[in-house]
A and B are shown apart, each in its own frame.
Chain A
Amino acid sequence: MSLGGGAGARGVPLPGPSDPGLQPERTALAWTRTACSLAVVGLLGLRWSGPFGSAFLLVAGFACLAVLLVLARGRRRFARLGHALHDGAGSRPGALSPGAVAGSPGAGGERGGNGGGGGERGGNSPARPASRSVLAMVSAVALLGATAAVVVAAV
């Protein structure tokens, strides 16, 4: 936590204890990974489904739609979140984009002073929980599983 504080007056900027800009990106990647897995399983069922092909087509379509909704909402949310986390941790008036943290020498002096106090909390950057996306993901998997179980039992 004293990484920034040790920089002193000249201050090559050191990132905070956990570079805040990467958390939204990691989470966005996790959503993308999961959405891709969902799409793969949906299409797998479609490939195999036999005489019940139309039922699976519907479910796979729903799964892909859920995927697209999640991704579309996620892009905007994570762009906003990246900015918000940087503002909270760096106490800088100008929003640093997540990629530019390490390479901004002008931020060194102030970050050195504020890094100890503001960097740890990052608390004025709320992330509203993604309730709708979570619900969409659970529903998609449950629907996919239920359809797969019905097809397996009935064929």
Chain B
Amino acid sequence: MSRDSAPEPVRDDALGRRLFPDGEEPDARFTLANERTFLAWIRTALAFVAAGVAIEAFTLGSLPPGVRKGFAVAVIAVGVLIAVGAGFRWWRVETAMRRKRPLPVPGIVPLLGVVAAAGAVVAAVLVVSA
């Protein structure tokens, strides 16, 4: 079963070889599922970035400017952290699948839970005190 029916122009994937030097490629469906998970995390990260921008843009006057800016920057920073963490996790999961090792424990999940809960508390405090 090693014939190609559709022509496959295989480009030189130098970055791929550097990131995944060993192991054998897993079933394509697992690679794709890993990608979809990564993309879902990215969309979450983008939501955080947009929320940080919205905090700065839409809560003018109800907070001292230092607190507001600090909060907005913190939320944006969480978004960036999620994005970077998601890319790192994508790499770790793909590597684990290639070496047929167990998948790594997701570290972003508890962090995200804590941050989202804290954000909700702060938002409630803002609503009540405005």
Contacts and interface: CB of A to CB of B under 8 A. Distances in A.
| Chain B contact surface mostly | helix
A145 B32 contact: no
Interface in B38-80: 38-40, 42-43, 45-47, 49-50, 52-53, 56-57, 69, 72-73, 76-77, 79-80
Contacts of A129: 16, 19-20, 31, 34-35, 94
A80 B77 contact: no
Nearest to A143: B80
Given A81-B28, A122-B29, A41 B49 contact: yes
Contacts, number: 151
B49 A135 contact: no
Contact of A80 (B6, B19, B39): B6
B121 interface: no
Contact of B28 (A30, A84, A95, A131): A84
Interface in B74-92: 76-77, 79-80, 83-84, 86-87, 90-91
Interface residues of A, number: 54
Nearest to B6: A83
Contact of B46 (A37, A84, A127): A37
B46 A38 contact: yes
Given A138-B83, A141-B46, A152-B69, 7 more contacts: A48-B57, A81-B32, A128-B13, A128-B31, A132-B16, A134-B87, A137-B42
Interface of B: 1-2, 5-6, 8, 13, 15-16, 19-20, 25, 27-29, 31-36, 38-40, 42-43, 45-47, 49-50, 52-53, 56-57, 69, 72-73, 76-77, 79-80, 83-84, 86-87, 90-91, 94
